[in-house]
Chains A and B, each alone.
Chain A
Amino acid sequence: MKRKGAIIAGLMALALGASACSSGSSASGGNGPIKLAFVPGVIGDAFYVTMQCGIQDEAKKLGVSVTTSGPQKFDPTLQTPVLQSVIAAQPSAILIAPTDTSAMQNPVQQATRNNIKVVLVDTTLKDPSIAVSAISSNNSGGGAAAFAAIKQLVPGGGKVMTVSVTPGVSTTDARDSGFSNAVKTDSKFTDLGVQFDNDSAQTAAQIVTSELQAHPDIVGIFAANLFSAEGAATGVRQAGDQGKVKIVGFDAEPDQVTQLKSGVVQALVAQQPALIGKDGVDQAVASLKGQSTTKSIGTGFTVLTQANLNTPAGQAAIYKTAC
């Protein structure tokens, strides 16, 4: 029993001693090698993994190091502690995809207050002026690209609709409005508006079957994500309209590419996450070296169809699950 007490006392003394000496040496130098940190909106998601690959490739090329840590869900309550731990690790610059425009404002500002440069990738903040640069897809352009794809598939025109995830998400809202604005420019097409499925394929299927009851002449559906597209396809099949109704999905995650291959969707509008990541690294490094930076960068899209899927350009547009 005595020995046990001694062991415990020893451990505690060790704890106190270690904490005392390490807190004394917490000051860090400013002009070391450039270290970047990437905080995606969620880890394990193909979109962010592809972005991470782009970041790592560019960092390697420029001879800087980069670490990646992110939350397990796309949510500010989970991203905030991760970001704060990243700030504590004192990188030179942080590339972050904020999970909420207002909730992440203060936590990201903690980074700039600690003299860490910030580059916003994909998503943005209420006040993006604190960042060196904000890089994202031109989302309303993505909506327009989706309409262009439908137009190519159904040149004769007709009624079109959008199945989106939830209202109030800046990126998907911009895509939806980009789509409906593009429809308005072409008199051959009529827009039936946006319906929301709360990320449920079942709800999306119900929405699409009832819309097809009301409007049997729908020719095209813009499905904002994986489940929307899956549900829309199920709904179209239930109504017996497969082949007649064209579905265009957004993003090119491996599951969505499978949908394209099997004919569930007829086209995919792919963002360029690797390019967003590459631009992010370039902007961060430029700002750390005192060179000029660009406040806001919009990246483009690749439209994937079965025709171009197997070309090198088509293969490069598919999101990766590992680098």
Chain B
Amino acid sequence: MTSVASKPQSSANGTAEEERRGLLGRTLRAQGAQIVLVLAVIVVIFAVLAPSKFLTPFNIRTTIQDTSILAVLGVGMTFVIVTGGIDLSVGSVLVFSGVIADKVMAAMGDQGWGVSIVGIIVGCLCGLGWGLLNGVLVAKAKVPPLIVTLGTLGMALGFSQIITGGVDLRDVPDVLANSVFSEIGGQLPTLTLIALVVVVIGAIILHRTRFGLYTYAVGSNAEAGRRTGVRVQRQLIKVYALAGLTAGLAGVLNLAFFDSTTIGGQSETNLNVIAGVVIGGTSLFGGAGTIFGTVIGLFIPSVLQNGFVILGVQSFWQQVVVGAVLIAAVYLDQYRRSAALHGSSVQFPFLSRFGSGSRKVTPR
């Protein structure tokens, strides 16, 4: 309890320091800022090594486009992980929603916008349905989220294969496929615009609404939340439903973008999204995380793969580097948590190791 006595002093130090460091300091303190730095360093390295190829409008556009569907999934996943949960089923739910949307659109047999809109709604509802199932099983039946979503991962994929016989469907109306693949004004891909809208809405809900506040409350301390009037079970169901909804939307986008249900190609989507969310600074223990961090965290694997291909480096290396970044991100999170517990505000533990005594040694 000695740390309590010294706490007022250290926090006073903190604010004084903050004033001195000004805007830059405060920006860097924000969660996700460190990961922006990592992304910036990666971009700089590739830009220096392949100056005429890496930062071309085409390459920037397609890299962002390739990350867009993951970003939609990442929004829902961030909410789930902020509650301290996990959703392994997103890739399968994405496939299932795409399959059902495709079947419905094929049955209606028209190529127009009417059919496309029905398909979009059906896809989103399918995702919402799986999300609700996940949420009810986690919140009411008290089955651990890892197991619930591992189960629905298999079920959603299994049903998709039963319905299709394992063969990818391609019955997307031309208007939908062409508009999702096209670019607005020749530069901004429609897919990216849709993802951007989802990301902004997600960020507003998480950071600016009561719903978002309750999501953090459930993740930080569910019991405390319950005692202050948060309906924890209902909140959890809503959060998993939201993750399902984003997976459903992603399913329709994926179907329209690839003109195929890509049944075989989504087996690692869940892990890629979780990695992006965690790299982006969302704590697997719940209670902390930002949508902005998630988006940046998802870009790191995309940019690495893109850069390695351009440089002609074996793209197997991408997995190695992403793995290392992932571990570093979780290490940072752990360090930040233990530092917060002891009243310090060290934000760059890996730098402070080499700094002049700014590392806080915690007596135990």
Flag whether B271 is at the interface (Cβ < 8 A): no
Which of A1, A7, A72 has a CB less than 8 Å from the CB of B17? A1
Given contacts A12-B40, A19-B44, A103-B260, contact A89 B53 (CB under 8 A): yes
Given contacts A76-B258, A76-B260, A167-B167, contact A81 B51 (CB under 8 A): no
Contact with A along B133-146 (1 / 0, CB 8 A): 00000000000000
Closest B residue, CB atoms, query A100: B260
Interface size on A, residues (CB 8 A): 53
Given contacts A77-B262, A85-B310, contact A168 B44 (CB under 8 A): no
User: In the complex, are the beta carbons of B310 and A89 less than 8 A apart?
Assistant: yes
A78 to B260, CA, bound (A): 13
A24 to B18, CA, bound (A): 37
Flag whether A102 is at the interface (Cβ < 8 A): yes
Q: Which of B297-318 contact A (CB under 8 A)?
A: 302, 305-307, 309-310, 312, 315-316
User: In the complex, are the beta carbons of B66 and A100 less than 8 A apart?
Assistant: no
User: In the complex, are the beta carbons of B52 and A22 less than 8 A apart?
Assistant: yes
Given contacts A19-B55, A25-B51, A167-B165, contact A88 B43 (CB under 8 A): no
A27 to B55, CA, bound (A): 11
Contact with A along B17-31 (1 / 0, CB 8 A): 100110011001000
A70 to B262, CA, bound (A): 17
Q: Which of B253-272 contact A (CB under 8 A)?
A: 254, 258-260, 262, 264-267
A97 CB to closest chain B CB (Å) equals 16
User: In the complex, are the beta carbons of A84 and B44 less than 8 A apart?
Assistant: no
Flag whether B190 is at the interface (Cβ < 8 A): no
User: In the complex, are the beta carbons of A26 and B66 less than 8 A apart?
Assistant: no
User: In the complex, are the beta carbons of A8 and B306 less than 8 A apart?
Assistant: no
A114 to B56, CA, bound (A): 12
User: In the complex, are the beta carbons of A106 and B265 less than 8 A apart?
Assistant: no
User: In the complex, are the beta carbons of B306 and A88 less than 8 A apart?
Assistant: yes
Q: Which residues of A contact B265 (CB under 8 A)?
A: 73, 75-78
Flag whether B111 is at the interface (Cβ < 8 A): no
Which of A1, A9, A22, A85 has a CB less than 8 Å from the CB of B305? A85
Flag whether B220 is at the interface (Cβ < 8 A): no
Contact with B along A263-286 (1 / 0, CB 8 A): 000000000000000000000000
User: In the complex, are the beta carbons of B170 and A102 less than 8 A apart?
Assistant: yes
Given contacts A88-B310, A167-B165, contact A81 B58 (CB under 8 A): no
Contact with A along B168-184 (1 / 0, CB 8 A): 10100000000001000
A11 to B44, CA, bound (A): 9
A77 CB to closest chain B CB (Å) equals 4
Q: Which of A17-54 contact B (CB under 8 A)?
A: 18-19, 21-23, 25-28, 43
| Residue contacts A-B, CB under 8 angstroms, 23 given | A4-B355, A8-B24, A11-B40, A11-B41, A18-B47, A19-B55, A22-B54, A22-B55, A28-B53, A69-B309, A76-B262, A81-B63, A81-B305, A84-B59, A84-B306, A85-B306, A85-B309, A88-B58, A89-B53, A89-B309, A106-B259, A168-B168, A198-B166
